[in-house]
Amino acid sequence: MANSHITPLLLTTLVLPLSAIAEPEYDDYGQSREAETAGDFATDIASITSDRGIVTRPGRLTLEPSFSHAHSNSTVVAIEGFTVIPALLVGLINISEIQRDIFVTALSLKYGFTSRFEAALRVPHLSINEDLRERQAFQGTPVDTVRESTGRGLGDVELSLRYQLNDGLDGMPYIISVLRVKPPTGEGPYDVEQRVIEDSEGNPIGIELRERPTGSGFWSVEPGFSFIYPSDPAVLFGNLSYVWTVEEDQGIENGGEVDPGDVVRFGFGMGFAFNERTSFSLGYDHSVIRETTFEQDNNNLLDASFSRIQVGSLSFGLSQRLSNSTSLSLTVSVGVTDNAPNSEITLKLPISL
C-alpha cells in the first residue's frame, strides 16, 4: 500500500528535472541562451582586430570610442639621364622621403533591432601630419629641403547594416551579411587647394596638395559577408567584401569624370581565450585596389603606373573584459606590402548599455 503512494511521487520527482534539462531557455526574442553565450564569446574574439562580431543583442545599444595611430615611411628615387655603361649614369637623381602619421578618433554606435539585425554608425575625426624631405627636383644641389603639410577634420562617416543568417549551432559557423555605405563627409583631394609642380622647362610633372584630405571625396557602397566558426578553444573568422566607389565629375581641369577604382577586401584569422576575461587574436587583412581612371587621360597628372595596388597587413591583438558590459582591446597591425602603413595601433572600448 505504501509503494502505491511512493511511486507517483518518485515519478514526479524524476520527470520534472528531466523536462527542465530537455527544454532550452529562450529570451524574449526567441533566441536560445546557449546561442547568446556562444555568440558573445565568439564576438569578443573575432572583433579584436576588425569589426567581424555577431550582431548586437536586440534592444541593446553599444557605444565604442576608439583611437588609432598609423605611421608610414617611404622613399622614392627618380632618375633623369642616361647610362653610358651599366655602372655609369649621366644625369640627375632626385630622392624623396615621406613620413606620414594619421591619428583617428572615432565614435561608433551599434543597436540591435532583432536577434539577427543591427545597424551601426561610425563618426571619425582625422589628424594627418606629413613631412616630405627631398633634393630639389632636376637641380644638382646637395641641400635637402623639408616640407610639411597637415590636415584635420571630419572623416567619411560610415553607416552599416548587418544581418545574421543563422544561429551558428549544430557545428555550423555564424554567417553575417554586411552592407556599408560611406558618404563623402570628409574633405576630399579635390576639395583642398592644389598646386601644379613643373620642371625647369615649365612642363607639369605632378600635383601637390596644400593640405592633407581627411576623406575620399566619393560615395562608396560595400556589400560583403563575414563568418565566425567557434572551435573550442579557438575561434576561426574571415570576411569578404567588394567596395564600389561611385564615379563623379570633378571638372575638366581634373580630368573630367573620375573613377577612383573599386576595391576587393578579404581577411581571415583565429583567436582563443586565455580565461573568461582575456582573449588573443591573430589575423590578416588584404585589399586589392584598382587604378583610378579619368575621362580625359591627357589632363591626368596622377596616372598610376600599375593597374592595381596591393595593401596587406598582419594584425594581432588582446582583449580584456573589464565588466559584463565593458571590454578593452588593443590591436597592433604591421604592413606586409609596400603600400600598407608600416605600423598601426588601435585602442577600442566597447560599452554595452
Residue-level pLDDT at 23: 46
Assign 3-class secondary structure to the chain: CHHHHHHHHHHHHHHHHHHHHHCCCECCCCCEHHHHHHHHHHHHHHCCCCCCCCCCCECCEEEEEEEEEEEEEEEEEEEEEEEEECCEEEEEEEEEEEEEEEEEEEEEEEEECCCCEEEEEEEEEEEEEEEEEEECCCCCCCCEEEEEEEEEEECCCEEEEEEECCCCCCCCCEEEEEEEEECCCCCCCCCCCEEEEECCCCCEEEEEECCCCCCCCCCEEEEEEEEEEEECCEEEEEEEEEEEECCEECCHHHCCEEECCCEEEEEEEEEEECCCCEEEEEEEEEEEEECCEECCHHHCCCCCCCCEEEEEEEEEEEEEECCCCEEEEEEEEEECCCCCCCEEEEEECCEEC
> What is the model's pLDDT at position 264?
96
Q: Which of 63, 58, 54 is nearest to 351 (CA)?
A: 63
Rounded to an integer, what distance in angstroms lies between the CA atom of residue 126 and that of residue 128?
A: 6
Place of cell 573568422: 237
Phi, psi for residue 94 in degrees, rounded to 5: -115, 120
Strand pairing of 327-335 and 117-135?
A: unpaired
The number of beta carbons lying within 10 Å of the beta carbon of residue 281 is 26
pLDDT of residue 54: 77
Question: What pLDDT score was predicted for residue 299?
Answer: 47
Residue 49 is predicted with a pLDDT of 63
**Do residues 55 and 163 make contact, with C-beta atoms less than 8 angstroms apart?**
yes
Neighbours of 245 (CB within 10 A): 22
Residues of the chain with pLDDT under 70: 1-50, 52, 76-95, 135-143, 197-206, 297-306
Reference 52, options 170, 160, 172, 171; nearest CA is 160
Q: Are strands 61-85 and 158-164 parallel, antiparallel or unpaired?
A: unpaired
pLDDT confidence of residue 96: 74
Residue 288: the pLDDT is 95
- pLDDT at position 92 is 53
pLDDT at 238: 93
